Amino acid sequence: MTASIPVVVVFGSLHYDIIVKGPARPRKGETVTGSTWNPACGGKGGNQAVSAAKTGVRSAMIGAVGNDDFGGTLTANLAANAVELDHVRVIEGAASGMSVAIFDSEGDYGAVIVSGSNLQLGQTDVEQAAALFQAGNILVLQNEVPEQANVLAASAMKKAGGKVVLNAAPVRDLSPELAGLIDVLVVNAVEAEALAGGAEVDTLDDAIAAARVLAKLFPVAVVTAGGAGVAYATLDGEEATIPAIKIKLVSTHGAGDEFIGVLAAQLLRGDGIKAALSAANEAAAILVSSLR
């Protein structure tokens, strides 16, 4: 590794995904007949690291997999997409993380994750990846690993002079300790509703209102509102909305992770928040309108 080249450091989850497509997502007690299924490499962390790497920046993953077939597939996928995996730990006796995602005919989905080895991320991983925590680097976190692990990684990056981006998904209460280490918070409509007081987020006006509330707690707060677009507000009073790009939806799967990966890459390049968000918005639109 070349320490002098800035890097997007993704600390987080790796999941082996099983994707099922059907006419609708089943209700409680219901069985529906699906049309296809396929495996995919995922986990928010893994997806975001790959998305950042595809923009051409240096991208490094800090994560954990089990010594199993899923783990081997996940690490091979990172390598194939030019993500550095020196600090992806293989844990004997642990099962790799996995998920099952069920898509409906409109391209929306619901998922269940089983965290497995991701729950063992912690101090060992932060210490072993010490060389990645440097001024000029961007650390990306999600909520698919233990919060204390995120605190350790964020503390290391802030101490070194780098920046920290938290994609607060899936939503959970954030401790004051973690919240105080975040430079950029990114949430979707559901997460914004939970963290910004419960007001529904359906429109860009709703999104900017939620971003203003969250910007009282974070230097930069970004709220994505699906097909409406994205809004942000800063502690310094800067704010803007960016309308969604009109596309024909194929699948929403992975859109949020594509957005985060490109956002982190553009911030690493030195873009301001509005320019970085515009690039991320465009990348997500391309992804959701593409056959995969």
CA distances for 247 relative to 4, 236, 278, 284, 286, angstroms: 39, 33, 15, 11, 8
Mark residue 29 as left, alpha or beta (left: phi above 0; alpha: psi -120 to 50; beta: remaining).
left
Rg of the chain over all Cα atoms, to the nearest angstrom: 18
Among this protein's residues, is 125 annotated catalytic?
no
- Contact present, 211 and 203 (Cβ < 8 Å): no
The one catalytic residue in 17, 183, 206, 257 is 257
Number of other CB atoms surrounding residue 154 within 10 Å: 26
Among 188, 190, 211, smallest CA distance to 200 is for: 190
- Contact present, 23 and 32 (Cβ < 8 Å): yes
Number of other CB atoms surrounding residue 112 within 10 Å: 9
> Which residues, in sequence order, are CB contacts of 264 under 8 Å at separation 6+?
8, 10, 48, 52, 138, 140, 165
Q: What CA dihedral angle connects 232, 251, 268 and 241, to 10 degrees?
A: -20
Q: Report the alpha-carbon distance of residue 148 to residue 17 in Å, rounded.
A: 25
- Interaxial angle between packed helices 255-268 and 273-288, expressed in degrees from 0 to 180 and rounded to the nearest 10: 150
Q: How far is CA 12 from the centre of its chain?
A: 9
Question: Annotated catalytic sites, by residue?
Answer: 257
